[in-house]
Amino acid sequence: MLHVDLPTRTQIDKLVSYRGGPAVSIYLRTTPLTQDAKADRIELKNLLKSAVAELEAAGTAKRSIWPIQESVEALVEDDDFWATQANSLAVFVTPDAVQTFRLPNKLTNIVEVSDRFHLTPLLRSVTFPHHAYVLAIGIGTVRLVEVSADLPPHEVSVPGLPRDFGHALGKRSHIERDGQMRSGEGTSEHAMLTRYARVVDQALRPLLASGERPLILAASEPLAAIFRTVSSYPHIPQQVIAGSPDDATDHVLGNEARAVLGHVYADQIRVLGELYATREAQGRGTTDIAHAARAATFGAVDTLIVDMDTVMSGTVAEEDGKITFEEQPNAVNYGVIDEITRRVLQAGGHVVAARRADVPGGGPLAVLLRYPV
């Protein structure tokens, strides 16, 4: 099982706003298998050595380096900490504090040293949903299953949710009939299924109110289509876990739900690509890094789609966003792509941390502008 600590918006905002020196950001690919964690601990030591070397080369005072070194070394030696890991580990450390996040994404090993944190890889963990609900609705049963990155799928207690079709309608079977099928029976069955769907939808409303988690349907037709038409919840993916869910275990539903979330991600990327093409034709989209830096500095970026693995060392001018690239990273410069990301977040823009293949134009970033710059 993955043990995940996803950052909250408040935690991200705090990291984004941090400016001071020195600040070390470490991303490490990890294994959730405790018996295989030794190699990860060794690699974290190696990344720490690289960070210390950069700090020493920049003339950083030893009184600032030692607390950073001690904090990370304490993590390396903490057996309990390494017993519960996920697919990646993010470590943000200053002389005064250390903060870690265990992440479900498989990230590239990297260490960045500057006066600010390197955050784009972290944003990948909150760009697309890792949490969802599965509504398993059939004639014989109805239940809500919660699926998350850090816990096994489990049923959620929902006040007012009926046990099944008969309980919802107060009938002993899904078609209240005696004798042979009669004219209009199909219409009557559709009407009762619609009533069933409405009862379920009404029970779910208080739990789902103001939420944005995907609600994945596990149902046979026509019940899946009927529920979709009566539901008031706007975050129901088109993809359905097909077939009767009456005998499906929570574990099976969880696995199927994660496959659906993959489709949700692909759909979001497709929509963003189409929107970018429209905005670019209007002069409100660019893949030019210098243009993006200026726009981010002036608060003109609505949405930034960025390759989470790209690092280009340099600096970005505070007053006009002019970029100065440098060949090698050091404790003074930083990743300019990441700095663009930071400025977009500070101006209230939306950031989508993606893989290179999912960025429109195939470059390190694509920007949708609020207005031409």
What is the C-alpha radius of gyration for the chain, rounded to an integer number of angstroms? Answer: 25
Domains and CATH numbers, the chain: 9-127 (3.30.960.10), 132-268 (3.30.420), 282-369 (3.30.1330.30)
- 225-229 long-range contacts, Cβ below 8 Å, gap at least 24? 226/190, 226/193, 226/194, 226/197, 227/135, 227/137, 227/197, 227/200, 227/201, 229/194, 229/197
Q: What is the reported pLDDT for 187?
A: 53
Q: What is the reported pLDDT for 177?
A: 45
Q: What is the reported pLDDT for 93?
A: 98
- The residues of the chain scoring below 50 in pLDDT are 172-186
Tens of pLDDT, residues 192-208: 999 999 999 999 999 99
Q: What is the reported pLDDT for 171?
A: 57
**What average pLDDT does the structure give for the chain?**
91
Give the length of the chain: 373
Q: What is the reported pLDDT for 130?
A: 75
For residue 24, CA distances in Å to 74, 97, 309, 366 come to 15, 11, 17, 27
Q: What is the reported pLDDT for 180?
A: 39
Angle at 92 between CA 63 and CA 55, to 5 degrees: 40
* Rounded Cα distance, 265 and 268, in Å: 5
Q: What is the reported pLDDT for 179?
A: 39
Q: What is the reported pLDDT for 2?
A: 60
Q: What is the reported pLDDT for 40?
A: 96
Q: What is the reported pLDDT for 211?
A: 80
